[in-house]
A and B are shown apart, each in its own frame.
Chain A
Amino acid sequence: MIVRFDSVERLVHWTNALLFMVLILTALPLYFAQVESLVGRRALIAEIHTWTGVILPLPLLIALSGSWGSGLRADIRRFNLWTKGELKWLMTAGKNPGLEMGKFNPGQKMNAIFVGSSIVVMFCTGFVLGWFNFFPLSWRTGATFVHDVFAGAIVVVIAGHIVFALANRHALMSMISGRISKLWASQRAPRWLAEEQAGHPEI
């Protein structure tokens, strides 16, 4: 077994997952009248949604603010760097069978980049909506539009993320235990396994 995600990364992942779930569940009655008529308490739900959104960036920011975030920073560098083969894999929706995968496949990289940037977008647009008095009306309309469009995209991306996780139990378990087998790594992430073994010759 080798370490795929350290404890800080796992804590950030599951804290984010919890916050996203609270945000999506509280968004339903705020957005759909039929749901609101069933659950009621709109003011309370709006308050929960707003303040959950305010703290949403904190787990990542705290994790990145100290030496404990070295594993997360290394993975973010992996999200940043794309080989030509990975770009081709993405453009052809996975049709590049000869590609030697690194720690993350291009779909996982896009997922991480999109979710990361959507936190920025949802935080900023949500701030305009929550404290609308400070912004001109056309900005409030624009923020509503962007918040809604991104909300739709986020739900689709997260649903896809969960489907892929459930279909790949070893990968899912590694986000819980932190570890994954060398066999899995040799098949699904051989370039990463080579990196790890070069970096830790004793393993």
Chain B
Amino acid sequence: MSRDISQPEQGIPIGRRVFLGIAGLGILGIVFGSKVQSAVGETIGTGIGGLLPGGDRFRIYSITGSFPNIGSTDYRLTVSGLVDHPMTLTLDDLKSMPSVHLVKDFQCVTGWRVPQVHWEGVKLSDVIDAAGARSQAGGVEFSSFDGADTESLTLSQARRSDVIVAYRMLGGPISSSHGGPVRLYVAPMYGYKSLKWLSGIRLVEKPVPGYWEQNGYPVDAWVGNFDGRQDAPIT
């Protein structure tokens, strides 16, 4: 068929290229998107970036479907199990202990990440030492006042200095949706280890895996070497 310039309606095949271009860009974004996201975050700041789709922001998970609310004066943390001195701590008790500050990423196992979050609390190892772990204790079980979530660590993992009982994050008291007034923050592991609404710490010989582990997530949830992180696993 000869080309007739008086009939421009024949058209140029552009639609297919645009379709493949958008689809290809999106699929390439799976591989390179984390770098793009970091660059965007550094350029416009995570504050604004967090408001945009794809920005650095927390996804709030609650396994019970609601955010349990306990006032800071009513809050209690029990430390029990294989300890010499079972304790019940108030928020003021925790705040009277030596505080630690961490500025670290929050990395979810499904991929989202909030860089450089400011955390404040007490070392979990200080809480354990105050209660006095017995020699046969080998692990720690955590429970949440949401009534459903549980977590676990080995005792040596729990004694790391970057594992804290946190009462402040993001520059303020921990909100109910972020697991306040007190939550766990296990810096070297995926976010599901950082149990929200912490209400119980129980030392045991061998801990029962927590809620997310019973749903198929790894018990040792090391983030490992990713995006500049170097968190050496210990057992």
A and B held together in a complex: yes
In angstroms, Cα B227 to Cα A102, docked, is 50
Contacts of B73 in A (CB 8 A): none
A42 located at the interface, meaning its Cβ lies under 8 Å from any Cβ of chain B in the complex: yes
In angstroms, Cα B28 to Cα A188, docked, is 38
The 8 A CB mask of B1-27 against A (1 = contact, 0 = none) is 000000011111111101111110111
Contacts of B52 in A (CB 8 A): 152
Q: With contacts A42-B65, A118-B22 known, is A151 near B53, CB below 8 A?
A: yes
- Chain B's closest residue to A85 (CB) is B8
In angstroms, Cα B13 to Cα A84, docked, is 11
Stretch in A108-116, A162-170, A177-185 touching the partner: A108-116
- Chain B's closest residue to A112 (CB) is B15
The 8 A CB mask of A34-47 against B (1 = contact, 0 = none) is 00110111110000
- Interface residues of A: mostly helix, strand, loop or mixed? helix
Stretch in B31-39, B85-93, B129-137, B162-170 touching the partner: B31-39
B67 located at the interface, meaning its Cβ lies under 8 Å from any Cβ of chain A in the complex: yes
Stretch in B105-113, B119-127, B152-160, B180-188 touching the partner: B105-113
- Chain B's closest residue to A127 (CB) is B30
- Chain B's closest residue to A41 (CB) is B65
Interface size on B, residues (CB 8 A): 52
A116 contacts B19, CB within 8 Å? yes
Q: Among A80, A87, A110, A153, which residue has the most Cβ atoms of chain B within 10 A? A: A80
B82, chain A: closest CB distance, angstroms: 33
In angstroms, Cα B226 to Cα A144, docked, is 16
In angstroms, Cα B31 to Cα A34, docked, is 31
Q: Among A82, A87, A148, A153, which residue has the most Cβ atoms of chain B within 10 A? A: A148
B31 contacts A142, CB within 8 Å? yes
A143 contacts B65, CB within 8 Å? no
In angstroms, Cα B16 to Cα A79, docked, is 8
Interface residues of B in 59-74 (CB under 8 A from A): 59-67
Q: Among B25, B35, B54, which residue has the most Cβ atoms of chain A within 10 A? A: B54
B198 located at the interface, meaning its Cβ lies under 8 Å from any Cβ of chain A in the complex: no
B47 located at the interface, meaning its Cβ lies under 8 Å from any Cβ of chain A in the complex: no
Contacts of B25 in A (CB 8 A): 121
- Chain A's closest residue to B67 (CB) is A37
Q: Among B12, B29, B59, which residue has the most Cβ atoms of chain A within 10 A? A: B29
Q: With contacts A125-B26, A146-B29, A146-B54 known, is A42 near B110, CB below 8 A?
A: no
Interface residues of A in 111-131 (CB under 8 A from B): 113-114, 116-118, 120-121, 124-125, 128-129
B169, chain A: closest CB distance, angstroms: 14
- Which residues of chain A have a CB within 8 Å of any CB of chain B? 30-31, 33, 36-37, 39-43, 76, 79-87, 100, 102, 109-110, 113-114, 116-118, 120-121, 124-125, 128-129, 132, 135, 137-146, 148-153, 191
Top 3 nearest A-B pairs by Cβ distance?
A40-B65, A140-B111, A142-B33
- In the complex, given contacts A81-B10, A132-B109, A137-B223, what are 20 additional A-B residue pairs having Cβ atoms less than 8 angstroms apart? A40-B66, A41-B65, A42-B63, A82-B14, A83-B10, A110-B18, A117-B19, A117-B22, A121-B23, A137-B107, A139-B34, A141-B113, A141-B227, A142-B29, A142-B35, A142-B37, A144-B54, A145-B33, A146-B54, A191-B9
- Which residues of chain B have a CB within 8 Å of any CB of chain A? 8-16, 18-23, 25-27, 29-37, 52-55, 58-67, 107, 109-113, 177, 223-224, 226-227
18 sampled A-B residue pairs with Cβ under 8 A: A33-B60, A81-B15, A82-B15, A83-B9, A86-B11, A113-B19, A116-B19, A117-B21, A120-B23, A124-B27, A125-B26, A125-B30, A132-B111, A142-B33, A144-B54, A145-B54, A146-B30, A151-B53
